[in-house]
Amino acid sequence: MKEKIPRQEESLQEFLSYEDISTSDSNEERGEKILIFVLCAVGLIIAGIVASITFKFVNSKIVGTGHAELVATAEKDKDGDKKKEDPRVRKIAYMSKGELFVYNVETEKRFGIEINKNKKYSSLSWKNKDELSYSECDTGSCTINTYSISKKKIVDSFELQASDVLALKWSSKETNLAYLFEQNGELYLTLKNNGSFRNLGKFKYDAFKIDDFGDSTYIRFSPNDERILLVNTFTFVGEPTVVVFDLTGTVLFSLNKEIGNIPTSAFFMSNELIYFKKNNSLYVQSLGEKKSRQLSERIVGAFDFKPSPDKTKIAYWTYDWPSGVTTIWVYDIGNEVMKRLRDQESRPLWIDDQLLISYQTPNCIECPKADLKLKGISLVSLETKVVSDLLKEKNIEILATEEF
């Protein structure tokens, strides 16, 4: 708005100058013109007030081996300038030592959600800014609960016969809930719409899979909520590990797990375009075509490709086995340039086009899986590379961050 006001003032000055040239006006005509000038000035003042109204926006996407939920807001003060350069994360849900917490970044306080510590919790997904869904499982039975932060109670719950819920995801319109669960050695992807349930797909379950720290099983909806992407790392070689379904269960895209090629990262760039990792490189393919196009050179040890909100950049992280160093990189799609952003950080998540949230990671060659995710959460600036601590909790097991 600041750019528009000078132009309005210039137009008004031109109008005033034009009126000064006219010397033949009567007093009544001059009085009418003065009134017009006053009204224009009042209009400019009102426009300035409107321009100073605080605005908020919400943005984000996924981190880590769980599903993460993040709410970021940016505000402007009465002068039209941002109060803070960085949008702030409002809430983060996470598991720690068998407990479920919601952390408020603004107040730097957390509160616990009461859960049964004797049950297994493996999936989190925010339904909206206030409601968080999570799975809890016992022997042969699981429950998916939806908890209201403001009401401080469970507002919805349903049971299913399952040994575990491996992934959970709400659609942006809050009408569909997709979840992947294990039952009798099989994996099932199910879609819940209000009170109805639809099985979209069944997969073989690798019960002996070693959960590598770079692997992540997750579900994503396309921007229009009409397609579902499943990245399933709990399957065998030769079986589908990246699959796109429509809401009826029709397979639109499928990529199998192969020896030496474990595609553990994929995402929607649009309703029609899917980006995915294959042979340690990044590829793009339209769901209506059979051929894919390679976007990058071979990237050894790359995980978690994440597009920026403006779809011009892709963040990912690598793990160098000899040194034990993790590094966040940013790939500029238009210029085809890769930029090394930050060492000892992993699992990037975009907040806006210039800010990322990431895990802090230790420097070790053979860290146990737990050690690679027991560090805090950082906020990283793409331009300045400045890192600030967001959450210093050292026992983070599952995060929840998604987009609204």
Two tokens, residue 348: 């990037």
What are the Cα distances from residue 187, in Å, to 35, 62, 114?
75, 22, 29
Residues 229-283 pLDDT 10s: 999 888 888 888 899 999 999 999 998 887 666 556 889 989 999 998 887 788 8
In the predicted model, what is the mean pLDDT of the chain?
72
pLDDT per residue over 201-214, tens digit each? 999 988 777 555 55
pLDDT at 376: 61
Q: Which residues contact 371 (CB under 8 A, 6 or more apart)?
A: 362, 364
**Contact (Cβ atoms closer than 8 angstroms) between residue 15 and residue 21:** no
How far is residue 305 from each of residues 24, 72, 145, 294, 340, measured CA to CA in Å? 71, 21, 29, 14, 14
pLDDT of residue 189 exceeding 90, the answer is yes
Q: How confident is the model at residue 138 (pLDDT cuts 50, 70, 90)?
A: very high
Express each pLDDT in 317-357 by its tens digit.
888 877 778 888 888 888 888 888 888 777 787 767 777 77
- Give the helix/strand (H/E) hosting 156: strand 153-160
Dihedral of alpha carbons 395, 113, 352, 245, sign = positive
